[in-house]
Amino acid sequence: MATLGRRLPRPALALLLLLLAACGFLVLPSLLGAADGGQRLDLRELLALSVAAAEAGGRRVRAVHEAGPDLQQRTKGQTQEGAEELLTAGDLQSHRCMASLWASTFPGIRVISEEHDEAALDLSEPWDGKIPLEIQEMVPSGQTVSMESVTVWIDPLDATQEYTEGLLSYVTTMVCVAVDGKPVIGVIHKPFTGFTAWALVGHGANVSARESYDERSPRLIVSRSHAGTVRTFSQKAFGTNVNIIPAGGAGYKVLSLLNLNKAEQPDQADAYLHITFIKKWDICAGNAVLSALGGHMTTLDGKDIDYLDSPGNKEGLIASVGLDHQELVKKVNGLEEQRLTFPAHMRRYCDAL
C-alpha cells in the first residue's frame, strides 16, 4: 500500500497557483478551493480525472504488450495459497502513469495502488482538465467533497496472469474514488478494446443493467483459479442447475453483470461470487459502478465493504444488480462456515490478514 504525494502548506500552494496562472497554465477550480483553506474537490473533475488515468494506464499496458513478447515478467511474491503473483512491465508502467497523473494534479490526495515502485513519480504533466462531453451532460459541477475524505484506489493492471497468457479480454485498468470509505466513483477500462465504463453514485453512469436476470438458476462468474471449489459450494447454495463461468479479473467479472454487447464483454453472468481473500483495489471500482446502478457488492454475510485504508477483504463477496441481493446473501451466507472444510492451504488463503 502506498500513499502518494504531500500536501503543500497553504501559502506555498497559493503562490504556486498564482505562478501557474501567470504563466498561462490551467488552474482547476478545486485547487483554488484548496488554496483558501477549503480543500474541496469537485466530483465531476474527480470522475473525469479517473477516466483519464484509467485510459492513460491502459495505453501503457497495451503498448508494452504490442512491443513484443518480452513483458519483463517476474514474481513479486506468492498468494497465501501458494500461487505466484506476477508483475510485468505493463503493471509498472501503468502504475507510474496513473499515480503520477493523480499526484501532479492534486498534490496531497491519498492514492493507494496495487503496485509499489521505487522510481520517482513524474509530476511534470498534470491532467489537462478536459471534461468529456458525456460527463458534462450527466454530471453537474459544483458537487464537492473534502480532500481529507477522499481515498483513490487504482489497479494499474487487473488480470496480470491472463495478460501474460494472452487472454487479453480479461485485462482492465481501474480507478475508484472512495469518500469516507464509501465507493463513489468507479472506472473500468479495457485496454485492448478501448471501452471504458464509468459511474458516479447518485449522478449517473455510461453503462446500465440488463433488463432481466435469472435468480433461480443463476450464472455465477467466479475466479479461474478456484472455479472447481466454488462450484461445489455454489451447488449447495443454488442447486445443481447453477452455471459457473470461470473468468479472470475482478473488473471483467463486474462488467459481465451489465448490459454490454458481446464484442465488449464476451461473458454474461447474473451474479459475481468470490469466496476467498481479495484486495480492495480489485473491487472498489466495480463496487462503485454497481452501486450507481442500484446494485450491490457485499461480503458473503451481507456487510458493506469499507474502503478507508485496509487493503484486504477476507470475507468473500457477492455482487449483483437487478436481483434481490438479500436473497442471494441468504443463499451464500453459509459458505462462510463451509469454508472451514477447505483444504489447509485454502483456509490459510481465506484467513490471510
User: Is 158 annotated to bind ligand?
Assistant: yes
Q: For 217, list phi and psi in degrees, rounded to 5.
A: -130, 70
Q: What is the secondary structure of 269-292 as a DSSP string?
A: -SEEEE-S-EEHHHHHHHHHHHHH
In a domain, 168, yes or no: yes
Residues 244 and 337 occupy one common structural domain: yes
- Tell me how far apart the alpha carbons of residues 125 and 272 are, in angstroms, rounded to a whole number: 38
Residues 176 and 57 occupy one common structural domain: yes
Residues 223 and 277 occupy one common structural domain: yes
* pLDDT (0 to 100) of residue 217: 87
Residues 177 and 232 occupy one common structural domain: no
- Tell me how far apart the alpha carbons of residues 21 and 26 are, in angstroms, rounded to a whole number: 7
| Lookup: cell for 160 | 496480470
In a domain, 213, yes or no: no
Q: Which domain holds residue 194?
A: 40-205
- Tell me how far apart the alpha carbons of residues 297 and 254 are, in angstroms, rounded to a whole number: 10
Q: For residue 332, how many C-alpha atoms fall within 13 Å in the half-sphere facing its CB?
A: 31
152, 54 contact by CB (below 8 A): no
In a domain, 244, yes or no: yes
- Tell me how far apart the alpha carbons of residues 25 and 89 are, in angstroms, rounded to a whole number: 32
pTM of the model: 0.84
In a domain, 27, yes or no: no
User: Is 315 annotated to bind ligand?
Assistant: no
- Tell me how far apart the alpha carbons of residues 300 and 281 are, in angstroms, rounded to a whole number: 18
User: Is 122 annotated to bind ligand?
Assistant: no
Residues 77 and 118 occupy one common structural domain: yes
* pLDDT (0 to 100) of residue 291: 99
Residues 287 and 186 occupy one common structural domain: no
**pLDDT digit string (tens) for the chain, length 353 residues:** 444 444 445 455 545 444 544 444 444 445 444 444 458 999 999 999 999 999 999 999 999 999 976 676 666 554 444 455 678 889 999 999 999 999 999 999 999 998 776 677 888 889 999 999 999 999 999 999 999 999 999 999 999 999 999 999 999 999 999 999 999 999 999 999 999 999 999 999 999 999 999 988 899 999 998 787 888 888 888 988 899 999 999 999 999 999 999 999 999 999 999 998 999 999 999 999 999 999 999 999 999 999 998 999 999 999 999 999 999 999 998 665 555 444 444 444 333 33
What CATH number is attached to the domain comprising 49?
3.30.540.10
* pLDDT (0 to 100) of residue 82: 46
Number of domains in the chain: 2
248, 161 contact by CB (below 8 A): yes
In a domain, 224, yes or no: yes
